[in-house]
């Protein structure tokens, strides 16, 4: 249902709940939570790709068949658990990439919004459709979508429950790259791997503090943000990797970073 594959610092977090289009169930959230907890503290992890192992689907959102059986008193706490796991993904210390090769609706798009970079196939379908069900996005969608594409457009999409394809999502800045789908149905995943490999040679400490500086800085005024940048930069100064970078430049060779 949820697995991860480790390749030279690139971790692929794969979701596979084929019979339910990867819909978010209690069990899936439990497994995602466990996987994310394991990744948080793994110093060998350099970049994480979140993808689906089910063709044509990223994640269809909440498992409505399960939800309809829940007592109303259970719904709030369960949505809080989903929100907490999505927040944990957003707060992972290394770069994260969502590879959207198919349907990403409701909580599925919220999961993708928690990632640093989103790439999608042109045939993928994305939208926060919760208002159709007389509810609102509950796993960060009302907050992360306007931060990604601007308030007015985010309101329009949430109010209309509109579903976009990959080209439309790229045009409004919801995703960074759009690809024509291939025969294997994994064009977005392959692009995500290319990006991850592009991230890989950089200094691991620098990558972590760069993400921290950007994430924290986006929530404050510019003066405070610049102070955050200064504090984050200071963390790189005493590292062995910084000295290795300078030495590699001097010796005209690729640096060999160790994350120290």
Q: Determine contact, residues 133/63, Cβ cutoff 8 Å.
A: no
Question: What is the side-by-side order of every strand in the sheet holding 96-100?
Answer: 2-7, 10-15, 47-52, 96-100, 117-121, 177-179
What secondary structure letter does DSSP report for 195? H
Q: Would residue 134 show up in a list of annotated catalytic residues for this protein? A: no
Which residues, in sequence order, are bridge partners of residue 127? 105
Indicate if 235 and 153 belong to the same structural domain.
no
Question: Is 110 designated active site?
Answer: yes
Residue-level pLDDT at 2: 59
Which pLDDT score is estimated for 133? 93
Q: What pTM was computed for the model?
A: 0.94
Q: Is 198 a catalytic residue?
A: no
Active-site choice (61, 110, 140, 206): 110
Pair 91, 26 in one domain: yes
CA distance 126 to 181: 15
Q: Torsion angle of alpha carbons 125, 182, 112, 110, nearest 10°?
A: 20
Give the C-alpha separation, 129 to 33, whole Å.
24
In angstroms, what CA-CA distances link 173 with 51, 104, 167, 170? Answer: 20, 16, 10, 5
Q: Are residues 222 and 109 in the same domain?
A: no
The per-residue pLDDT string of the chain (260 residues; one tens digit each, 9 = 90 and over) reads 656 667 789 999 999 998 889 999 998 999 999 999 999 988 899 999 999 999 999 999 988 888 888 888 989 989 999 999 999 999 999 999 999 999 999 999 999 999 999 999 999 999 999 999 999 999 999 999 999 999 999 999 999 999 999 999 999 999 999 999 999 999 999 999 999 999 999 999 999 999 999 999 999 999 999 999 999 999 999 999 999 999 999 999 999 999 89
pLDDT value of position 114: 97
Helices (H), the chain: 26-40, 64-67, 72-90, 107-113, 141-149, 151-160, 166-171, 187-199, 204-217, 222-236, 240-250
pLDDT of the residue at 52: 95
Write the CATH number for 76: 3.90.226.10
CB-based contacts of 97: which residues, under 8 Å, 6+ apart?
47, 48, 49, 50, 115, 116, 117, 118, 119, 192, 195, 196
Is 104 found in the same domain as 176?
A: yes
Domain count for the chain: 2
130 is catalytic: yes
The verdict on 126 and 228 lying in the same domain is no
* b/e sequence 95-116, b meaning 16+ C-beta within 10 Å: bbbbbbbbbbbbbbbbbbbbbb
Where in the sequence is the domain holding 228, given as residue range(s)?
Answer: 204-251
* Distance from chain centroid for Cα 40: 14
Residues 132 and 59 in one domain: yes
Same structural domain for residues 149 and 190? yes
Helix segments in 91-131, DSSP class H: 107-113
Q: Confirm whether 145 is domain-assigned.
A: yes
Q: Which of 99, 102, 106, 130 is catalytic?
A: 130
Tell whether 97 is covered by a domain: yes
- Catalytic option among 14, 107, 108, 141: 107
62 touches 105 (CB < 8 A):
no
193 CB-near residues (< 8 Å, 6+ apart)? 10, 49
Same domain, 139 and 55: yes
Residue 256 lies in a domain: no
Biggest CA-to-CA distance, the chain: 66
**What pLDDT, on the 0 to 100 scale, is given for residue 177?**
98
Query: Six-digit token pair at 165?
Result: 């394809």
SS3 call for 120: strand
DSSP 82: H
């Amino acid at each position: 249902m949820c697995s991860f594959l480790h390749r030279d610092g690139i971790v692929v977090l794969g979701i596979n709940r084929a019979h339910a289009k990867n819909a978010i169930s209690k069990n899936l959230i439990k497994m995602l939570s466990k996987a994310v907890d394991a990744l948080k503290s793994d110093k060998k992890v350099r970049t994480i790709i979140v993808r689906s192992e089910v063709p044509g689907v990223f994640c269809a959102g909440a498992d409505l068949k399960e939800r309809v059986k829940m007592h109303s008193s259970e719904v709030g706490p369960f949505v809080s658990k989903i929100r907490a796991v999505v927040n944990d993904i957003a707060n992972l210390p290394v770069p994260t990439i969502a590879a959207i090769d198919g349907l990403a609706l409701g909580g599925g798009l919220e999961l993708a919004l928690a990632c640093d970079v989103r790439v999608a196939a042109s045939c993928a379908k994305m939208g926060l459709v919760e208002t159709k069900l007389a509810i609102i996005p509950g796993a960060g969608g009302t907050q992360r979508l306007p931060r990604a594409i601007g308030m007015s457009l985010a309101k329009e999409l949430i109010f209309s429950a509109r579903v976009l394809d990959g080209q439309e999502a790229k045009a409004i800045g919801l995703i960074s790259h759009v690809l024509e789908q291939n025969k294997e149905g994994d064009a977005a995943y392959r692009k995500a791997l290319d990006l991850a490999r592009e991230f890989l040679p950089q200094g691991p400490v620098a990558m972590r503090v760069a993400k921290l500086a950007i994430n924290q800085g986006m929530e404050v005024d510019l003066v405070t943000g610049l102070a955050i940048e200064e504090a984050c930069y200071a963390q790189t100064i005493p590292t062995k990797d910084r000295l290795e970078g300078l030495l590699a430049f001097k010796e005209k060779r690729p640096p060999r970073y160790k994350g120290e």
